[in-house]
Amino acid sequence: MNKYAAITVSRQMGSGGTYIGYQVAKALGFSYVDRQILRRAASLLNRDEVSLEEYEEKSSGLIQNLLRTFLLGTPETAYIPKERPIYDKDLFLLESKIINEIVDKHNAVIMGRCGFCLLKDRPKTVHLFIYAPRDYRTERIMKADSTADPREAQARIDESDRRRTKFIRDMVGTEWTDARNYHLCVDSSTVGLSESVQMVIGFVKKALG
Amino acid sequence: MESYKPHKWLVAVTVMTGTLMAALDTSIVNVALPHMSGTFGASIEEITWVSTGYMLSQVIIMPIIALLSSRFGRKRFYIFSVALFTCFSMLCGVAWDLSSMVIFRIVQGFGGGTLIPLSQAILRETFPKEEQATAMSLYGLGVILGPAFGPTLGGWLTDNYSWPWIFYINVPVGIINILLIMRFIDDPPYLVREKGKLDFTGLFLMSVGIGALQIMLEKGEQKDWFASNMIKYLAVAAFIGIVLFTIRELTTDRPAVNLRILKDINFSLGSCLGGVLGMGLFSSIFILPLFLQQLLGYPAYDSGLALIPRSIAMAIAMPIGGKTYNKAGPQALIALGLFVNAVSFYLLSRLSLTVGYWDIFFPQFLQGLGFGFIFVSLSTAVLSTIEKSLLTAASGLYNVIRQIFGSVGIALAATFLTRGENLYRALLVEHVTIFRDVVPESLHRLLSLLSSQGANVSGTDLEALKFLERMVMKQASMLAYNHVFFLIAALFLLSVPLAFLVRDPQRGKGAEVMREEYD
């Protein structure tokens, strides 16, 4: 019987999902869990957090995975780097374990990392998806990055969407944007972030009882 | 911190060029050794220095790269290294005797040894976080292409031009590389200039100890081992050098090579196996081209081509090993690799003078699989029990051990080969007497053949005997090669039990979280 509740937040880049997740956690007194997962994985793998970040929530192609092994060099090369090659799937599995350990011990809001799939059938769990139209997200990214060029922001958004879609499809075999994966999908541009936060809090309170 | 340059791909090309040059020079030379041996009138043992000199100089420079780089500035140090490598490449091409060649190779190794680690560091800083994986993939490609195509390129250059061209080819590439570095690479502003002390004493003692050991192994057979005073002096020098080096590195505050890490049993065990890997790999890389060219009459290019199956198999096995590491575990993969290698060398030990290409292909392919499985899993497991602050030093020590054992392996292979040739010749000659019917019959056939070819009748007896001698010598050499391959096979097989003692506590690690981390 699960003692603790969990809320997973999947979000599109620029939709304000991170803000919403944080505010919900704060309001409900839950642990907000995002970067800590990577930090914990880095500690367990004896790696630098920054160097591990490049592998997170990514699904590399076959060639890239192949070439990743060759980072070690060959037996003939005099120099072998200290870092072992990290494969996306291995990191994903480790982070999945970390997430499961967290929700077994805390009330937590888990940001991203296929949380909605990992905790799919877990009782006392609510899965949220935060999204917004591309233009809205572009504007928010431009403001955050202090850039005047919308194309740069759009390129980042498109790349992020593409990467996350591929990651989730490859790791858990489902479509990221399929509403059936979630209990609640929120278009944050409709009522703004603050109202979205209140809506989500209300829904979660009712859902968790 | 990261610095993102718009011309990051030019930086990538620049450092990749350096990486490729350094990686190529490890293997490009081996197929040309029989030709060099002829040019310099050097024996097999003597010519080993062309390979081992390069390897050992890399061993010496590697522990101090970080310090030199931060002391003099990375860009400046990189340019200096490329310039050193390039200049001494050219000098290797014009070497007039074995001594000059070896000296130039040693200095070339000082330059070459720095290029690969510096290239990786520069790439990491140049590319943003989200493109690091791509940048590192390119780096990996460069590192693997060098040893894969080095022998073939070396063989082609040797056959179509001459062996000095395997060195001359570095010159235009090196010059272009220097120009690219000057134009596109800058030191990051946050790079701290360290003024730490270099452990020259430790490096000197290591050079003396290992150098004396190498010379002893090279000269031993020729001087009849400990019957010679020279060998005795070298043995004493090697012993004292190594002991003093060990004491120095264990007692000094900032050792060049941190031997204290050997306290970690898993690391020591893994390094032992790394040494076995180095011995088997480098000795086979050294003697296989000799075997193919001198015994089977392969041109240098063909002997280079014959080594490609191993590179291809390694390129297949390494990713498989990497992907299955967490499931299969290091013990299974290392043991499998050692066993497969034992089989491959055993197959090589069964070769004869009438073998075809596929008789070479299959053992080479197996070897590549074996080395691939061992290399990836061992490189991962050996560092898994080392704390993060010591990882750089541990990785350096592991590399040093691998390379030293590799150079000792080359020396031993050459020694056993020469010894074996003498031994088997003596054994075979015992059976080549006029009291065995087959011998006069063979001589008679040879005489008839020579006469039919138009040879001078008065000289045919001697020619026939010389021919017979060459046949005996060739057969003795074949047996000697078989013997050496068999020894390497035995080395791998006997190492299999050690594989089951290696562990990786990080593998499939649980994710125990501390409650207070998330409150």
Q: Using an 8 Å Cβ cutoff, are B325 and B333 in contact?
A: yes
A57 close to A172: Cβ distance less than 8 angstroms: no
Look up residue B352 and give its DSSP letter: -
CB contact (8 A) between residue A36 and residue B518: yes
Q: What is the residue type of A149?
A: D
Going by pLDDT thresholds of 50, 70 and 90, the confidence category of residue B315 is confident
ipTM: 0.76
pLDDT digits (tens, 9 = 90+) for B28-54: 999 999 999 999 999 888 899 999 999
- B395 touching chain A per CB within 8 A: yes
> Which of B282, B395, B511 minimises the CB distance to A82?
B395
For residue A199, pLDDT beyond 90: yes
From the CA of B437, how many Å to the nearest CA of chain A?
Answer: 50
DSSP B322: H
Q: What's the confidence (pLDDT) of residue B31?
A: 92
Is the separation of the CB atoms in B257 and B198 below 8 Å?
no
The per-residue pLDDT for range B363-391, each reduced to its tens digit, is: 999 999 999 999 989 988 898 888 878 88
Query: Is pLDDT of B127 > 80?
Result: yes
Helices B8-27 and B44-61: crossing angle, nearest 10°? 150
- As a whole number, mean pLDDT of residues B222-229 equals 85
CA atoms within 13 A on the CB side of A79: 30
Look at B26 and A76 and tell me if their CB atoms are within 8 Å. yes
Contact A75 B278 (CB under 8 A): yes
Question: What is the torsion angle, in degrees rounded to the nearest 10, for the CA atoms of residue B114, residue B120, residue B123 and residue B124?
Answer: -130
| A148-157, B154-163, B338-347: least confident range | A148-157
Asked if B517 and A50 come within 8 Å (Cβ–Cβ), the reply is no
pTM over 0.90: no
Please give the single-letter amino acid code of residue A133: P
Measured between alpha carbons, how far is A88 from B220 in angstroms, rounded to an integer?
52
Does residue B397 sit at the A interface (CB-CB below 8 Å)? no
Q: Between B174 and B447, whose confidence is greater?
A: B174
DSSP structural state of residue A54: T
Task: Identify the H or E element spanning A11.
Answer: strand A6-11
Q: What does pLDDT average to over chain B?
A: 87
From chain A, pick out residues whose CB is under 8 angstroms from the CB of B386. Answer: 46
Look at residue B3 and tell me whether its pLDDT is greater than 50.
no
* Cα gap A54→A58, rounded to integer Å: 8
Query: Apex CA B297: angle with CA B291 and CA B299, to 5°?
Result: 95
Instruction: State the DSSP H helix or E strand holding residue B336, giving kind and residue range, or none if neither.
Output: helix B330-348
pLDDT at B508: 58
Q: Which residues contact A116 (CB under 8 A, 6 or more apart)?
A: A8, A10, A127, A129, A181, A182
Taking CA atoms, what residue in B is nearest to A41? B511
| The pairing of beta strand A31-33 with beta strand A125-131 | unpaired
Q: How confident is the model at residue B2 (pLDDT cuts 50, 70, 90)?
A: very low
Say yes or no for a CB contact (<8 Å) between B133 and A54: yes
Closest CA to B509 of A45, A29, A167: A45
More confident residue, B166 or A54: B166
User: Can you list the alpha helix ranges (DSSP code H) found in B349-459?
Assistant: 357-381, 391-429, 438-452
For residue A111, what are its two tokens?
């940001």
| pLDDT attached to residue B458 | 61
Q: Tell me, rounded to whole angstroms, the distance of Cα B302 from its chain centroid.
A: 20
All structural domains of chain A: 6-208 (3.40.50.300)
Rounded mean pLDDT, A157-174? 92
pLDDT confidence band for B519 (50 / 70 / 90): very low
**Cα distances (Å, whole numbers) of residue A71 to A46, A79, A85, B59, B120:** 17, 11, 7, 20, 9
Contacts of B318 in chain A (CB under 8 A): 69-70, 72
Bridge-based pairing state of the strands A125-131 and A6-11: parallel
Q: Which of B58, B144, B517 sits opposite A78 (nearest CB)?
A: B58
Q: How many CA atoms lie less than 13 Å away from A125 in the CB half-sphere?
A: 23
| pLDDT mean over B328-341 | 94
∠ CA B491-B35-B486, rounded to 5°: 15
Contact B133 A98 (CB under 8 A): no
pLDDT interval class at B196 (50, 70, 90)? low
- Provide, rounded to the nearest whole percent, the portion of chain B with pLDDT above 70: 93
DSSP secondary-structure letter at A58? Answer: -
CB contact (8 A) between residue A105 and residue B513 = yes
What is the distance between the alpha carbons of residues B29 and B304, in angstroms, rounded to a whole number? Answer: 10
B455 pLDDT tier (thresholds 50, 70, 90)? low
The C-alpha of B234 sits at a distance from chain A's nearest C-alpha, in angstroms, of 26
- Residue B144 to residues B32, B110, B116, B137, B165: CA-CA distances in angstroms? 21, 21, 12, 11, 22
Region B154-176: what's the mean pLDDT?
95
Least confident window among A114-118, A153-157, B117-121, B341-345: B117-121
Size of interface A-B (CB pairs under 8 A): 164
Q: What local confidence, expressed as pLDDT, does residue A98 receive?
A: 94
Among the partner-chain residues A47, A69, A100, the one whose CB lies closest to the CB of B376 is A69
Q: What does residue B97 show for φ and ψ, rounded to 5 degrees?
A: -155, 180
Angle separating helix axes B33-40 and B265-290, nearest 10 degrees: 70
Q: What gap in Å lies between CA B256 and CA B207, rounded to an integer?
A: 12
What does each C-alpha distance from B87 to A44, B55, B79, B172, B175 come to in angstroms?
46, 18, 12, 11, 10
Chain centroid to Cα B341, Å, comes to 16
Task: Measure B397 CA to nearest chain A CA, in Å.
Answer: 10
A46 and B384 within 8 Å at the Cβ level: the answer is yes
Average pLDDT for B293-308: 91
Q: Fill in the DSSP letter of residue A6.
A: E
How far, rounded to the nearest angstrom, does the alpha carbon of residue B8 sit from its chain's CA centroid? 32
Predicted confidence (pLDDT) per residue in B387-428, tens digit: 878 888 888 899 889 999 999 999 999 999 999 999 999 998
Selected for mutation to probe chain A from B58, B127, B136, B395 (highest A CB count within 10 Å) is: B136
Instruction: Name the percent of chain B lying above pLDDT 90.
Output: 49
